[in-house]
């Protein structure tokens, strides 16, 4: 999916990497290396927001730091340099490189440079240069995990995960959290569903009051897609985040000035009338509302500047 829709939000990528990392730790404790960690070998179970590592076809037993013979099966971009030598020493640090390279790909949408190319002196472009939204701590953790020399990498997955600052990951919502929203949408209670959507997003972000741009940027894309899917399903594609995103992209392409584009967007989705922003309570919460009017995600009765900043950030996300 990354190659099709672009980079993931840092919080979502870290959640998946954390889950895969915990599984790898168990694998390593049983004396096995996976040897082929990459985005294509990670399956996400949508109903559980859970990432699962698959394809153990080239997994092999290993003894840490002991030279052993391994078949040369690998994936360019994700395999460390020692995997290109069938007699090189291997350890948990071998999978650490691949896991770090996978995080590189998830956060940039780009294939990491193959390690043999780096071995000839080509410098790996730091992920933060490709995606400025990546935090300094995660950027450093990726580069440390992708160190060319095995001894310069963290020697275990747990050690590497510690470099990423796990406490900053937004844990996401559980399937049970969406039950009320689903019920309200099914009953066509649009205003209550909109308010529940805002409440869910605040809950997931650990916020009260309103969502900041920083909260939107870190918000798990998986949860945004579930919210969007529910709105589109029960409104027959009349409402939803991707419906709004298409309208926003259309007006942005027609206006160089962001404020003018925002006002035009407000006109299109029915948040403005005759040049004035409507009070939230004055919106048309019926099936006949303008295309893309909901979710409005307004937590007060007015479309304040902070609402514009958060919504523009949300509608500009490439991973919806």
In the chain, what's the furthest Cα-to-Cα distance? Answer: 75
Q: What pLDDT score does 166 carry? A: 53
The DSSP line for 193-253 is: HHHHHHHHHHHHHT-SS---HHHHHHS-HHHHHHHHHHHHHHHTTSSSHHHHHHHHHHHHH
pLDDT tens per residue across span 253-290? 888 788 899 999 999 999 999 999 898 889 999 989 99
Indicate the Cα dihedral angle 223, 107, 167, 19, nearest 10°: 70
- Are the CB atoms for 315 and 245 separated by under 8 Å? yes
Q: How far apart are CA 139 and CA 248, in angstroms?
A: 31
Query: By three-state DSSP, how is residue 121 classified?
Result: coil
pLDDT tens per residue across span 18-70? 889 888 888 888 788 888 999 998 888 765 467 888 866 554 555 455 545 44
Residue 99 neighbours by CB under 8 Å, 6+ apart: 17, 20, 21, 24, 37, 145, 157, 160
Q: What pLDDT score does 2 carry? A: 59
Nearest to 160 by CA among 137, 130, 180, 182: 137
Residue 214 neighbours by CB under 8 Å, 6+ apart: none
Number of Cβ within a 10 Å radius of residue 83? 23
- 237 a catalytic residue: no
Domain locations along the chain: 2-168, 175-315
Q: What pLDDT score does 67 carry? A: 47
One digit per residue, the tens of pLDDT, for the chain of length 320 reads: 556 667 888 888 898 898 898 888 888 887 888 889 999 988 887 654 678 888 665 545 554 555 454 455 678 999 999 999 877 788 899 999 999 999 999 999 999 999 999 999 999 999 999 999 999 999 999 999 999 999 999 999 989 998 987 544 455 677 788 999 999 999 999 999 999 999 999 888 877 777 888 888 878 877 888 899 999 999 999 999 999 999 999 999 888 788 899 999 999 999 999 999 898 889 999 989 999 999 998 755 556 566 788 899 899 887 77
Nearest to 227 by CA among 180, 271, 286, 168: 180
CATH level 3 topology of 2-168 = Transferase(Phosphotransferase); domain 1 (1.10.510)
Number of Cβ within a 10 Å radius of residue 69? 8
Residue 125, CA atoms < 13 Å, CB-side half-sphere:
12
Catalytic residue, chosen from 36, 95, 215, 319, is 36
Q: How far apart are CA 200 and CA 256, in angstroms?
A: 33
Residue 42's φ and ψ, nearest 5 degrees, are -120, 120
Q: What pLDDT score does 169 carry? A: 44
What is the enclosing helix (H) or strand (E) of 54? Answer: none
């Amino acid at each position: 999916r990354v190659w099709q829709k672009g980079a993931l939000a840092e919080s979502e990528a870290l959640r998946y990497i954390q889950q895969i990392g915990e599984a790898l730790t168990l694998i390593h404790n049983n004396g096995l290396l996976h040897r082929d960690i990459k985005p294509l070998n990670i399956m996400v179970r949508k109903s559980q927001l859970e990432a699962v590592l698959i394809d153990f076809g080239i997994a092999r037993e290993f003894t840490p730091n002991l030279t052993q013979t391994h078949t040369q099966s690998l994936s360019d971009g994700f395999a460390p340099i020692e995997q290109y030598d069938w007699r090189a020493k291997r350890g948990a640090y071998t999978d650490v490189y691949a896991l770090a390279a996978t995080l590189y790909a998830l956060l940039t949408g780009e294939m990491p440079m193959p390690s043999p190319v780096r071995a000839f002196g080509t410098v790996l472009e730091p992920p933060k240069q490709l995606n400025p939204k990546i935090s300094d701590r995660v950027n450093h953790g990726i580069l440390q995990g992708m160190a060319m020399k095995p001894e310069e990498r963290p020697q275990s997955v747990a050690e590497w995960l510690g470099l990423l600052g796990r406490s900053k990951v937004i844990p996401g919502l559980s399937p049970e959290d969406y039950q009320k929203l689903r019920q309200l949408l099914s009953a066509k209670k649009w205003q209550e569903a909109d308010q529940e959507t805002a409440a869910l997003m605040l809950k997931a972000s650990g916020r009260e009051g309103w969502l900041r741009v920083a909260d939107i940027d870190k918000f798990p894309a998986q949860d945004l897609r579930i919210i969007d899917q529910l709105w589109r399903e029960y409104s027959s594609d009349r409402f939803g985040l991707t419906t709004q995103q298409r309208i926003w992209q259309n007006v942005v392409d027609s206006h160089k000035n962001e404020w003018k584009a925002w006002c035009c967007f407000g006109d299109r989705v029915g948040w403005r009338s005759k040049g004035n922003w409507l009070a939230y309570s004055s919106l048309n919460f019926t099936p006949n509302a303008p295309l893309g009017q909901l979710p409005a995600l307004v937590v007060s009765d007015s479309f304040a500047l902070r609402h514009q900043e958060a919504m523009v950030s949300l509608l500009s996300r490439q991973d919806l």
